[in-house]
């Protein structure tokens, strides 16, 4: 939907593809044309490279935007698109192989002297080799998909007895999500901050950075809340991260949008983690603080245009926060929640909602759990937090459980408000039973409110429409129930 909207604003015709179970999806209805891929499983549909290119040829399209996942960082797919005479809206396949492959990217970083987390620079052949490598690192370690992102194919391993099972699981997840089962291992850092740097490059070799995003609020190594700027990054650190990101991108001849991810430890030392050679889910917070439309720039760069601005032209204003609304149950380990969206009402007002669903849609087990992204901007961080809290209270979803209660919990937590959190926030501070308690408390408050309204309504001088509006309270309660 994000890409379709950008195309509309640029007067570009959009063509969607869809699996069998996505036949009535919002992106299918909103695109100018739509074609079926068939199947339901990713390998039958959105990972079917040949079928996608065949449909693109049949539709006489000019370019393919790969989105956020699936084939977005697959160099073979980018190559296939180019060989078919179409434009891949992303970096060149060579750049994807150099930086999109996590092991290759680590090699490049080390060659350039950019600090990296200790670990292998080649994919592991098997679990036996992995255990030999761990002898050099010591536990805990992190197994990661070489071709992936978004937390897929990642497993923390804290003992030798866990390694074999974790290795097989990471391989299976990577194969299912990206069609590539290669994994590598690196030292797991307990409690760092996850900071990433947005970059843009063009085919003339010009690369700039657009500021950092704080992405430390995560569950299962997947981001839930992101913001820009980070309270942990000052001007000096921002320049160091930006310079490192630009050096890496230029080394690969990188053109288009991309994100360099770093870990920042308690001593202020940063380590290159990986690069996402694509547009990221959380890109709106950068758009809100810079005023630059990243999807528009992706398309213009893919058309061969140079970036219209230089590094000195980039100005940052205010603070932006994004909350991911996912169909998951925070009270049950963030397990996926499936079902029909019987009620779906997004917040209004001074807020940005990137939405992909509507009432009546069925949430299945096949794809990512992300329903929508709520993005709040404020002149200051407290103002942005307040705007986000108001918006989440007004987001009403029935039919599936969501991450909204978790996001509300985080926004009000002392560590988040003070900016003293890191990637271990969920493990350290989140107690799922608190959400159940909040629901009970709010039900009691609603019951009391209903009693007071009923008593007031018995007065002959009191009009029904003068009673306190209940939608805010209902919306908040529904969020917790959902």
Is position 296 annotated as part of the catalytic site? no
Note the pLDDT tens digit of each residue in 358-373: 999 999 999 999 999 9
Q: Is the pLDDT of residue 441 over 60?
A: no
Residue 448 has pLDDT above 60, yes or no: no
pLDDT at residue 103, as a whole number = 87
pLDDT at residue 136, as a whole number: 84
Instruction: Report pLDDT digits (tens) over 225-266.
Output: 999 999 999 999 999 999 999 999 999 999 999 999 999 998
Give the pLDDT mean for 279-308.
98
Position 481 scores a pLDDT of 30
The answer to whether the CB of 4 falls within 8 A of the CB of 16 is yes
Q: What pLDDT digit, counting tens, does each position of 317-354 carry?
A: 999 999 999 999 999 999 999 999 999 999 999 999 99
Mean pLDDT score across all residues of the chain: 89
Mean local confidence (pLDDT), 108-131: 90
pLDDT at 174: 87
Higher pLDDT, 434 or 464: 434
Q: Is the pLDDT of residue 443 over 90?
A: no
Chain centroid to Cα 420, Å, comes to 22
pLDDT tens figures, 207-228:
999 999 999 999 988 999 999 9
Q: How far is CA 290 from CA 258, 261, 324, in A?
A: 16, 19, 21
Per-residue pLDDT averaged across 157-170, rounded? Answer: 92
CA-based nearest residue to 38, from 25, 50, 21, 61? 21
Are 168 and 235 within 8 A, CB to CB? no
401-438, pLDDT tens digit by residue?
Answer: 999 999 999 999 999 999 999 999 999 999 998 887 76
Q: Are 208 and 306 in contact (CB under 8 A)?
A: no
Residue of 450 and 418 predicted with greater confidence: 418
Catalytic residue, candidates 175, 182, 278, 393: 278
């Amino acid at each position: 939907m994000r890409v379709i909207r950008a195309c509309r604003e640029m007067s570009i015709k959009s063509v969607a593809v869809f699996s069998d179970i996505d036949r009535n999806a919002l992106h299918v209805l909103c695109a100018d044309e739509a074609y079926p891929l068939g199947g339901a499983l990713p390998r039958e549909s959105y990972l079917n490279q040949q079928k996608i290119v065949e449909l693109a040829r049949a539709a006489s399209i000019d370019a393919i935007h790969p989105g956020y996942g699936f084939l977005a960082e697959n160099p073979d797919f980018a190559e296939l698109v180019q060989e078919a005479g179409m434009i891949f809206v992303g970096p060149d396949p060579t750049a994807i192989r150099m930086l999109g492959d996590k092991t290759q990217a680590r090699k490049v970083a080390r060659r350039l002297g950019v600090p990296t987390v200790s670990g292998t620079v080649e994919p592991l052949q098997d679990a036996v080799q992995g255990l030999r490598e761990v002898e050099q690192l010591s536990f805990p370690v992190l197994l990661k998909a070489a071709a992936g992102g978004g937390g897929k194919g990642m497993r923390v391993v804290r003992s030798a007895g866990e390694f074999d099972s974790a290795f097989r699981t990471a391989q299976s997840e990577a194969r299912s999500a990206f069609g590539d089962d290669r994994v590598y291992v690196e030292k797991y850092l307990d409690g760092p901050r996850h900071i990433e740097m947005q970059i843009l490059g063009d085919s003339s070799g010009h690369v700039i950075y657009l500021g950092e995003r704080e992405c430390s609020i995560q569950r299962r190594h997947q981001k839930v809340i992101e913001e820009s700027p980070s309270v942990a990054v000052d001007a000096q650190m921002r320049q160091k991260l930006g310079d490192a990101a630009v050096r890496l991108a230029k080394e690969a001849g990188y053109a288009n949008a991309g994100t360099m991810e770093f870990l920042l430890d308690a001593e202020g030392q940063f380590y290159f983690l990986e690069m996402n050679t694509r547009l990221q889910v959380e890109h709106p917070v950068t758009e809100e603080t810079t005023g630059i439309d990243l999807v528009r720039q992706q398309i213009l760069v893919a058309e061969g245009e140079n970036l219209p601005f230089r590094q000195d032209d980039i100005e940052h204003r205010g603070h932006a926060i994004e909350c991911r609304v996912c169909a998951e149950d925070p009270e049950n380990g963030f397990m996926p929640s499936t079902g029909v969206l019987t009620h779906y009402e997004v917040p209004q007002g001074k807020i940005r909602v990137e939405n992909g669903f509507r009432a009546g849609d069925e949430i299945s087990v096949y794809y990512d759990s992300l329903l929508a992204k709520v993005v709040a901007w404020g002149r200051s961080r407290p103002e942005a937090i307040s705007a986000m809290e108001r918006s989440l209270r007004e987001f009403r979803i029935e039919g599936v459980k969501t991450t909204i209660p978790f996001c509300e919990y985080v926004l009000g937590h002392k560590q988040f408000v003070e900016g003293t959190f890191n990637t271990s926030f969920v493990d350290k501070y989140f107690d799922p039973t608190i959400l159940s308690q909040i629901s009970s408390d709010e039900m009691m408050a609603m019951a009391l409110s209903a009693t007071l309204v009923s008593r007031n309504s018995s007065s002959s001088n009191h009009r029904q429409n003068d009673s306190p509006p209940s939608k805010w309270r209902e919306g908040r309660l529904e969020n917790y129930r959902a």
